[in-house]
Chains A and B, each alone.
Chain A
Amino acid sequence: MPDQLLFAMEVTLNGLMAGVLYALVALGFVLIFKASGIFNYAQGVMALFAAATLVGIMDGQVPFSHLINATLGTDLHHFGWHVPALLAILVTVVVMIVLAWLVQRLVMRHLVNQEPIILFMATIGLAYFLEGLSDLMWGSEIKTLDVGLPQGINETIDQITYDMFGYGFFIDNLDIVATVIAGILVIALMAFNQYTREGRALRAVADDHQAALSVGISLNFVWVLVWSLAGFVALVAGVMWGAKSGVQFSLSLIALKALPVLMLGGFTSIPGAIVGGLIIGVGEKLFEFLLGPALGGATENWFAYVLALVFLVFRPQGLFGEKIIERV
């Protein structure tokens, strides 16, 4: 097999794995948008907040330590213990659920039936608030997140592909783990949506609020539920990306990468988010590989957005979104 083709295969594989992560972030958006029509700008910051909280809990940091020290003149920084990763993740899940409840209770509940743009603005405010809260609670320095996920080149794949093609594929262990976890999460979410009582209620609210009320569904409960689910998805995404490139402000920008995914897949479709993520992941890697050198490189920075723009022009509802029909 020619080297170029092998290299393209390797790039595609890497692209698919990046795509699963994009899909994961996009899923957080879809969940909330479907059930409440809110485009949650804060999704990326939620990932940052979740990752920072996880690191803080694992390291035994005192939350708000700077604030406490500044006002009381104390010198607190650490509790002096280390929490095992699994327990810390459980505590963080609880924190995200409490956050979801607070968001619903203090913000979204008062904005029911408002214009979508107003809800969107509220989530922008939420994003900045959370960013500040995250800094205030855990400090703004770059943190390393190590929950014990394997990292570095996968030797087995390297060896097998070398034996087969005479060319070893470079696949990162972390990417493999991330792909598997994201895959499981996506399947679990779809099963939840399809087969459970709560999933049915969620779909019902997504479809028609009035009808949902009339069959005994509490809208408030469903909204807290979707914000919690979105918080959980943000945590998983935050852990994956945080383990890869550290927990820092730029983590919140992964949300921007989810935008083109949503435009491709449609804002209301879970399968759409997955397929969209994969297309963007593979697309940007292959495009860089094939045309990058001719265009001066760094095409990964803009490819996804240009693709999204093309979709906006020719198929605004996305690949799987609900068809927009206007009756005259």
Chain B
Amino acid sequence: MSHRAAGRGASGGRIWNEKKGRARVKDTADSYVTADGRTIGGVVMEMKNITLRFGGVVAIQDISFDIREGEIRAIIGPNGAGKSSMLNVISGFYTPSEGEVWYKGARRPQMKPYEVARQGIARTFQNIALFEGMSVLDNVMCGRLTHMKPSILSQMLWKGKAEHEEVANREVAERVIDFLEIQHIRKTPVARLPYGLKKRVELARALAAEPTILLLDEPMAGMNVEEKEDMSRFILDVNDEFGTTIALIEHDMGVVMDLSDRVVVMDYGKKIGDGPPDEVRNNQDVIDAYLGVAHD
């Protein structure tokens, strides 16, 4: 638990203007307090019997799990297990063939990705999807789009309310930038940044949306040890400071075990384990999936 212990110590400033009261969604009797003093709330998102097929290929087979408010939930599994597909179902990029997605206690109808984003689910991508031609600040400001009101005329005239709104959004963006320690590259076009920093900018953009759930698709893929440690620290700090619910995919077992409160393990599109890291670590199916065992 070294990462968590180290991460908890560092505390940055608040990102947003006012700390959002966590909307208790389900019965609060469910909530519990972790060993390091964070409160984990009720279920905010529930996947019920999700199946996803592409033609004859079954990417996800009848998987159910939930995400609780304020926790770091990891989805792990070997390559091709269907982790990214699951994240794409949550963020609306894929529509499940069967099963239901429940969000904040209500069944979510079929939705486009941008509608899901507007509901407060922000995400990053495995292969980084940034606006390469824009500066870091502009990218982060794009994360604020869901908080900007459409008022073409007043914005073009740049007066009163529109200006006030722009300033408020800018403030949040700047705080996120401070928090993730990327002030020195604020004005740099993203295309010029190294890989590790791009990943951080993408996290900043997602965070600027002040999401209810933050989805991270392999946040540490392709990073060196130092960058991985930085990223782990940022993920923990975000969760700790703002109570942001985080669901992340990772196949580096070590990192995941240190970071997360609960882990779902997938293999060949099926769920083979679900629970706290220590429990999952000793699960025979999980060990088999990772070390390889003859399937008969």
Contact = CB atoms under 8 A, between A and B. Distances in A.
Given A200-B142, A208-B132, A214-B129, A195 B113 contact: no
B131 A218 contact: no
A214 B155 contact: no
Contact of A216 (B93, B114, B131): B114
Contacts of B115: 216
Interface in B122-137: 122-123, 125, 129-134
Contacts of B150: 197-198
Interface string B88-132: 000101000000000000000000111101100011010001111
A200 B148 CA distance: 11
Nearest to A197: B148
A155 interface: no
A195 B114 contact: no
Contact of A218 (B112, B143, B148, B158): B112
Contacts of B113: 213-214
A83 interface: no
B131, B205, B206: most-surrounded residue (chain A CB, <10 A): B131
Interface residues of B, number: 34
B209 interface: yes
Interface residues of A, number: 25
Contacts of A196: 152, 155-156
A196 to B, nearest CB: 4
Nearest to A213: B113
A131 to B, nearest CB: 31
Given A197-B148, A197-B149, A208-B129, A215 B155 contact: no
B36 to A, nearest CB: 31
Interface string A185-199: 000100110011110
Contacts of A197: 145, 148-152, 155
Contacts of A198: 150, 152
B142 A191 contact: no
Contacts of B114: 212-213, 216-219
Given A197-B155, A203-B131, A214 B145 contact: no
Output the residue of B114, B115, B152 with the most chain A CB within 10 A: B114
B236 interface: no
B146 interface: yes
A200 B150 CA distance: 11
B141 interface: yes
A76 B66 CA distance: 67
B131 A208 contact: yes
A324 to B, nearest CB: 14
Interface in A62-77: none
Contacts of A182: none
Contacts of B133: 203, 206-207, 322
Contacts of B156: 188, 191-192, 195-196
Given A195-B158, A207-B132, A210-B125, A215 B146 contact: yes
B130 A211 contact: yes
B129 A210 contact: yes
A317 B77 CA distance: 44
A201 interface: yes
Contacts of A192: 152, 156
Contacts of A215: 117, 122, 142-143, 145-146, 205, 209
Point out which of A192, A203, A206, A215 has the most chain B C-beta atoms below 10 A from its C-beta.
A215
Contacts of A207: 131-134
Most buried by B among A192, A208, A214: A214
Nearest to A205: B131
A230 interface: no
Interface in A154-204: 188, 191-192, 195-198, 200-201, 203-204
B209 A216 contact: yes
A218 B146 CA distance: 11
A198 B149 CA distance: 10
A204 B125 CA distance: 16
A208 B112 CA distance: 17
Contacts of A217: 114, 145
Contacts of A219: 114
A267 to B, nearest CB: 14
Interface in A226-256: none
A203 B130 CA distance: 12
A219 B146 CA distance: 14
Nearest to B146: A216
Contacts of A216: 114-115, 117-118, 145-146, 209
B101 to A, nearest CB: 17
Contacts of B151: 197
Given A200-B142, A207-B131, A219-B114, 11 more contacts: A192-B156, A196-B152, A197-B149, A201-B145, A204-B145, A208-B131, A213-B93, A214-B125, A216-B115, A216-B145, A218-B112
23 contacts: A192-B152, A192-B156, A196-B156, A197-B151, A197-B152, A198-B150, A198-B152, A200-B142, A203-B131, A210-B129, A211-B130, A211-B131, A214-B117, A214-B206, A215-B117, A215-B122, A215-B142, A215-B143, A215-B146, A216-B117, A216-B146, A217-B114, A217-B145
Q: For the complex of A and B, list the 7 residue pairs with the smallest distance between their C-beta atoms, beginning with the closest.
A: A216-B117, A211-B129, A207-B131, A213-B113, A216-B146, A197-B148, A196-B155
